[in-house]
Amino acid sequence: MTVRNPSPSLYNEDLAPAETRNWGAFSIFNVWTSDVHSLWGYYLAASLFLLCGSFINFVIAIGIGSLVIFVLMSLVGNAGVKTGVPFPVLARASFGTFGANLPALVRAVVACFWYGAQTSAASGAIVALLIRNESMLHFHQSSHLLGHSTLEVICYVIVWALQLLIIQRGMETVRKFQDWAGPAVWIMMLLLAIYLIVKAGTFSFGENIPQDVLLAATKDAGVSGAPGSVGALAAVAATWITYFAALYLNFCDFSRFAPDQATLRRGNLWGLPVNLLAFCLVAGITTTAAFTVYGEVLLHPDAISAKFDSWFLAALAALTFAVATLGINVVANFVSPAFDFANVFPRQINFKRGGYIAAFIALVLYPFAPWETGAAHFVNFIGSTMGPVFGIMMVDYYLIRKGVVNVEALYHEDGEFRFEGGWNVNALIAFVAGAIFSSILPTFTTVLPAWWGTYGWFFGVAVGGLSYIALAAVRPQARTA
């Protein structure tokens, strides 16, 4: 649709409703292959697979988790298809025309942090390959710059620059990149699994790994309890669902380019429950085979490929997983802040400039490498506040507005979504209430039980959403101009 007389402080061409809708089911499918097929995604998938304790438990825990992810992504995805607007613009319906900048900036902060972390992981895979050469290993050990080895800095900058090339021509280039990268990573994953299974001479689901060794290797996955126990399986499903917390918010950045909900549903069906189950299965089997071959629990594929005798196979694996990590960076950590920063200053910042800002922040962060320090806890704290935002937006869209939004009014300062000076106080109160239970109490106090943090995102969704709908009943005037 064409927006008539939009307010300049709320509109630019990148934030406008999508007109070209050429993202078919295959492109939507590859949003998910790009999002999960990374070094971090492999680590989590392999960890959760092993913590299930058996194949049946894996199908139950990861299967249920993947179905929940499918449902939640369909909710926000359908809103994107129907309205054609990106996440920060859709947020205006519940938070207000200017209040939407709050959830947008929360999402952008998390994305910038992980943009740097994922770039570092991708460049690390290249470094691991290069230091197989003795001269490169010597250079890596002897030369240092900005708190890292000079080789690490060079690889980081190169990978960082390559990502900028992907987005030079906007979202269409993103689609073409992920349509190529997604299948390439799957092929490499299968080759890696087959190679290790043949070398191990056996096929297992992790039963051969001693429990103490397994728990030590997976301690950072956030799952407590004995592998295979009811508590562990519940935590596995919850952790898997929470892993996608960021995309629950901004999946409409992609789904708005789909022609209809049927296309979106097909892409999501293959990309989420089917693809996620298969990915976790392959990651788990590969890790157990690697344990048989090398006698170690290697949860990172670059650590596995570094042990290959064949330089060619090691190079193929390292480059493929570097590409995979670039894929998730573009999908989860570039597109979102590009739109989020553009939403704050649409007259000055478009999609490209917003992306450049995110990339620049990631570059500035690199010397400090906060993803290797306790700063990760701060980002996780900020990230858990995305639960209340999701709850508020979905309650507003489906329960209060019944899936009907005046899209044109989203771009008018004095329209329906002005609320109180551009802010919906109901949403702000609900956001704070949800954040207290999803972030503040679990992080800074011992009031809540230790297991609460595993399910913090869910409590944030529930408290934020219920508070919002309760406030809408008490203060109904806050829903209209």
For residue 432, what are its two tokens?
């704070």
Count of beta carbons in the 10 Å neighbourhood of residue 309? 7
> Half-sphere exposure of residue 212, counting CA atoms within 13 Å on the CB side?
0
pLDDT band for position 480 (cuts 50, 70, 90): very low
> Per-residue pLDDT tens for 126-135?
898 899 889 9
CA distance 466 to 120: 39
Q: Helices H, strands E: what count in the chain?
A: 24, 2
| Higher-confidence position of 324 and 21 | 21
State yes or no: pLDDT of 479 exceeds 80. Answer: no
Please name the residue that has the structure tokens 């087959």. Answer: 194
CA distance 261 to 247: 18
For residue 114, what are its two tokens?
């992980």
Average pLDDT of the chain? Answer: 89
| Higher-confidence position of 344 and 188 | 344
CA distance 125 to 300: 10
Q: Is residue 264 within 8 Å of 78, Cβ to Cβ?
A: yes
Q: What percent of the chain has pLDDT over 70?
A: 96
